[in-house]
Structure 1
């Protein structure tokens, strides 16, 4: 069994729910160093006995920090790869090795170009073969691994379909290296790298589940909450071809290495009262009672001692009971999250309210990562704050120019040219740029970065829509800010960028407004990562201002909203703003101002619904969840949590 001797979370190890060895680390960086240390240990032990080390390697974001640490060990601690042979799990088919999306390019950039490995010892499936030659090649690939004594160590990631390598649902546990057809979700997940799902190859060459099983040690790594759901299925679910990673439960040589977020849905973390005695903190009690109400499909105030005892919560009933008192306490806490006054209710007792009564009129900044996140995710609250007389500002952190169709650019350029002609002005510059843009678009490659002029036009399209939405919400023009933070365009050209000027610009705006409330996107499931980057910029700006001693920051609260991609769980919510049917309609009309994102956005993510439909259905789902717990039945609820900085 694999054993990494570095600091893990001080939490209960394997439970009766977990069918495979699992190690959980504070974060992916610590975990990656532990995996790299184990690989280094194997290499050094083999070198001492004059043997060759055979490694099975993976691609994607998951192993990147392992490779960084291996490079560091090579450069700083003399770890040599001269006697190492590597076999990669898979490659797209067809795929040229020098293509930007090829796994040859990935491995060279992330590892091989930085260590002393012999190129002859690098093996990656060949995506340039004729299709009739693939089967023979796959047999030879397996034979070469076997001739070297098999894999000493195999790194795996896990796809959201549960695939390992490119062994998609339906793969057999004894499958060998072969050509496969990629699942639609796998292709959607790869679409960003290829500039659209339509450009992602439909096939790949992959080592099989049976090939992977032959490795002496297998480590499957997974990071962040996006992987939590599939990790739970792989670790705790029944063995099934529907989730190929569950086959790993059959091996004694496997360990799952996770960060806290990827492990968050495992039973010992998500519902620990089913596994062990708990430290019943107020938040844990709230989570458990909400879970129980959902589990037995009862309102909170109707939960009985029998419900507690039959569902793993006898300890809570004994230690904190009687259960009816627990029910009343949790009901009241959830009830107190509900407020029609998101800026605080003036001249009211605020001891049981989520926001302060004073000052009655607050300075507010709503930060919107993209130009439509404000109205999509918290449009009802945004409008309510303006209606209730608060000094509301909105800050659009990025231009959002990536999410505009090329056809929209041509339409606006045609309008500008025709308008110039109608006024008797010289339209030649517009016409020249228009023809240049048409030529560029006709030969544009997937993921090709637009020229500056086109990026500017796309940004102006989003800006005009955002202004219309903010005005509709009731904001004066002087309270509408377009930060257009530099990182957004910089990351189109380089993955290594500094965020220093983004933070400073955000600090300048915060100091100008001196807000009592800051609303920021906490929806880190954004598939392109912009929400998380934008939050980190705000967070760093607030922390620096606090450290520098600005007096107003003592009265500043940071609220996080979600809604564009998923919603907070009921037990997490600290402020719930109910919306009437009329307010839902107003919110919808504000979203409609973003016409370039209507019908079919450039980056829809996994959810096929339009953004306004997602927004309405998510907030109505939250309202129904409150109703099911026995609280008031509202048309919709927008949810927030408070974040300590």
Structure 2
């Protein structure tokens, strides 16, 4: 077939003035901007760490040119590598490696740039919040930008909430005792003295915001703005719907922003009530010569990145306000750029030969777009889409043959998902304690039905960050009531709570499940108290009931007095993690598995810091290797991160498992192990990426609902939910799997499922996706990820 030539426009190609941007642009092999689809120029890089490196080099280049400039920099996890690279460049300026790097990207300077005269403007802050709290943005800025880089505090405009005056100088905690700020007081009469104080304090904050804006403008506006982008597209805390002419102000946030902030604030319960002070979109764009950069990494950001770049200015997409700036940019990883139509097209045209995955992705997307089943797609349909038109002219098969091949591939993957799997030894691995359950629990239900399979479930991190202080307080108070009643005295004297008593641990699980079966909250509460007492004895190495009561009282006081979101001390981290471990044991107890079938490795890289460590061989890989030797699996399941962004726990666990499997294969010579990759609520497979499709029935959804809510007590309140769904994760999983079913139903037609001879397909209302790999394929996948993050 004749090859389609890509037309080159006669329009003048826009190029960056920055040498750093030009270097990375040349490296990417992409255009700076694909007009008319893209409205803001883009620099694309391979990985999250490389994104930080690019941004740091551009920042260094800018401050050399603007030593007295005004800068505004982000908080959170996104700027991790940016912060580290700036620190490294400044500290190692005169080393050969840094000078070589600077030379490569075109930065020429006789001496290290000084940050002494730079003016720093804080972008946003929660309100109210104690600025001394570790989860305040004020603390973050002090800890990372000022401490690590040596910025001059005298030149900083910071949002120190502790220094903003209050009505009659009454402490903020007394004015807002529940930390709720009612902005309706701006426009109504106060009905009490407390409301009068609140109204006056709100007015003071509003005046503070106005003065903050004025000072920024007096400096000429922000010269270098760097920001991330929220799930709803927010820049700073300018959420979806923000006026493009907005200035610094005190505002409420939306659900998506609250969900994203839940981790910082210690739960969605706190985030819902917390207001924010943020600079406005007009604040960011006031200086028309400003360099404004938005950084985004990972496929999870791909949709909002697409909407922010390909749409004309709209309050629905806050980042479109940056289009008025000549020097506005998006710096993206390949994952974040995945859904930018022109860039996706360029990627496909560079494939030689065209990969089956790219063909299937494009054609399945066309099915969804046209609302036609696969076999109904025509040549004209293909021609209307740039990518499928290219495929049509660069493929040996015609439209009907391509459609038929993809249809058969989908059917064969469904068949594989329903095949009887026997004589396999499964090692199910998970970064967090609900990952397996949320990803492929309906499949496990089928896999465990035959005694010819063996299963072991292992959780690789402690997961303590998902447990709130308020939940632990309830558990502690529940335990104290049992201790005071003397219920546990006999069991205590019989060494029931001894850490080596495996039978006792299994009886904890059985007691809880008996309570579920009997609808008895009392039995469930006793089981929770038993396991918590056992855990406290292990953590604190305490064996006296009298002293244990004192310890419980201390913990009750701890959970009452700690502010939400504060990093816990090591013993409390362990206690919280052990509660998650108990919950996962309860979940698998539904199937008759004992605690011996569930292991908890608590890998050391997971420490609850905002920037977490990388896995280490001795600390994080060898424990997995020892488990592999013990279980001797034939199939290992692994949570797949689609891009391998450094800070992501899924990625780090996947790398550790990969390293352990390589060592295991080297020691045993066993190269026949299969790897099943899975994803759940954070990322999802496109149908073209998966090769096992498992039908999910309403019965399976009902089972997951019951098991998840009953087993994962710490999660049923959804304190750390996804921004996509306001509720527990199991319901988001159902939503996702229903969407995946609808995609396949579009491809195959409704009658394929409605009139199918197989009852599981007739009963299907959802589909879960898995990706099976050989060891060599898995190693190749993880090596590529590792290479781009080093």
Q: What interval of TM-score do these two structures reach, taking the shorter chain for normalisation?
A: 0.7 to 0.9
CA distance in 2, matches of 1:531, 1:453: 24
Match of 1:6 among 23, 28, 35: 23
* Correspondence for 1:437: 555
For residues 553-632 of structure 1, what are the structure 2 equivalents within 5 Å?
554-565=671-682, 567-579=684-696, 587=704, 590-591=707-708, 594-597=711-714, 599-606=716-723, 607-630=725-748, 632=752
Is there any run of 5+ residues in structure 2 with no aligned partner, and where? 1-15, 94-111, 166-201, 494-543, 754-760, 780-790
After superposition, the C-alpha distances for 1:543-591 in whole angstroms (9 at most, x for unaligned) are 4445x45411x11222112234453221221111234555555555544
CA distance in 1, matches of 2:281, 2:126: 17
Residues 397 and 30 (structure 1), Cα distance of their counterparts in 2 relative to 1, 3 Å cut = closer
CA distance in 1, matches of 2:698, 2:121: 58
* Correspondence for 2:358: 284
CA distance in 1, matches of 2:610, 2:219: 41
CA distance in 2, matches of 1:581, 1:327: 30
SS of the residue 1:30 aligns to? helix
* Correspondence for 1:408: 475
CA distance in 1, matches of 2:130, 2:697: 56
- Superposition misfits of 4+ residues, deviation over 6 angstroms: 273-279, 523-528
CA distance in 2, matches of 1:90, 1:21: 25
CA distance in 2, matches of 1:178, 1:478: 55
* Correspondence for 2:770: 640
* Correspondence for 1:420: 488
CA distance in 2, matches of 1:12, 1:278: 20
Alpha carbons 1:74, 1:80 under 8 Å: kept: no
- Normalising by structure 1, we get a TM-score of 0.86
Residues 212 and 509 (structure 1), Cα distance of their counterparts in 2 relative to 1, 3 Å cut = same
* Correspondence for 1:29: 49
CA distance in 1, matches of 2:594, 2:611: 37
* Correspondence for 2:405: 329
CA distance in 1, matches of 2:592, 2:654: 25
Match of 1:466 among 584, 587, 610: 584
Match of 1:45 among 48, 65, 71: 65
Residues 59 and 435 (structure 1), Cα distance of their counterparts in 2 relative to 1, 3 Å cut = closer
CA distance in 2, matches of 1:565, 1:139: 38
For residues 124-203 of structure 1, what are the structure 2 equivalents within 5 Å?
124-127=158-161, 128-130=163-165, 131-200=202-271, 202-203=274-275
Residues 287 and 434 (structure 1), Cα distance of their counterparts in 2 relative to 1, 3 Å cut = same
Match of 2:428 among 356, 366, 372: 366
CA distance in 1, matches of 2:242, 2:698: 48
Alpha carbons 1:97, 1:104 under 8 Å: kept: yes
Alpha carbons 2:236, 2:279 under 8 Å: kept: yes
Larger mean Cα displacement after TM superposition, 104-113 or 578-587: 578-587
SS of the residue 2:655 aligns to? helix
- Normalising by structure 2, we get a TM-score of 0.71
Alpha carbons 1:196, 1:446 under 8 Å: kept: yes
Alpha carbons 1:138, 1:178 under 8 Å: kept: yes
After superposition, the C-alpha distances for 1:200-237 in whole angstroms (9 at most, x for unaligned) are 47333333222221332222222223322221111012
Match of 1:253 among 297, 315, 327: 327
* Correspondence for 2:98: none
Alpha carbons 2:718, 2:727 under 8 Å: kept: no
Larger mean Cα displacement after TM superposition, 523-532 or 19-28: 523-532
* Correspondence for 1:392: 455
The number of aligned residues is: 624
CA distance in 2, matches of 1:420, 1:205: 50
- Displacement of 1:269 after TM fit? 4.1
- Displacement of 1:24 after TM fit? 0.9
Alpha carbons 1:340, 1:578 under 8 Å: kept: no
CA distance in 1, matches of 2:643, 2:50: 22
SS of the residue 2:771 aligns to? strand
Alpha carbons 2:124, 2:278 under 8 Å: kept: yes
Residues 582 and 66 (structure 1), Cα distance of their counterparts in 2 relative to 1, 3 Å cut = closer
SS of the residue 2:78 aligns to? coil
Match of 2:315 among 238, 241, 252: 241
Match of 2:640 among 502, 507, 522: 522
* Correspondence for 2:786: none
- Displacement of 1:334 after TM fit? 1.6
CA distance in 1, matches of 2:679, 2:585: 21
SS of the residue 2:487 aligns to? helix
Match of 1:314 among 376, 382, 389: 389
Alpha carbons 2:28, 2:45 under 8 Å: kept: yes
For residues 474-489 of structure 1, what are the structure 2 equivalents within 5 Å?
475=593, 478-488=596-606
* Correspondence for 1:114: 148
CA distance in 1, matches of 2:139, 2:578: 35
SS of the residue 1:613 aligns to? helix
SS of the residue 2:558 aligns to? helix
* Correspondence for 2:106: none
- Displacement of 1:509 after TM fit? 0.7
* Correspondence for 1:355: none
CA distance in 1, matches of 2:211, 2:703: 64
- Displacement of 1:184 after TM fit? 3.5
Larger mean Cα displacement after TM superposition, 218-227 or 458-467: 458-467
Alpha carbons 2:640, 2:651 under 8 Å: kept: yes
SS of the residue 1:165 aligns to? coil
- Displacement of 1:322 after TM fit? 1.8
Match of 1:293 among 367, 377, 385: 367
Alpha carbons 1:386, 1:475 under 8 Å: kept: no
Q: Whose relative contact order is higher, 1 or 2, with alpha carbons under 8 Å and at least 6 apart?
A: 2
CA distance in 2, matches of 1:610, 1:32: 33
* Correspondence for 1:539: 658
Alpha carbons 1:56, 1:87 under 8 Å: kept: yes
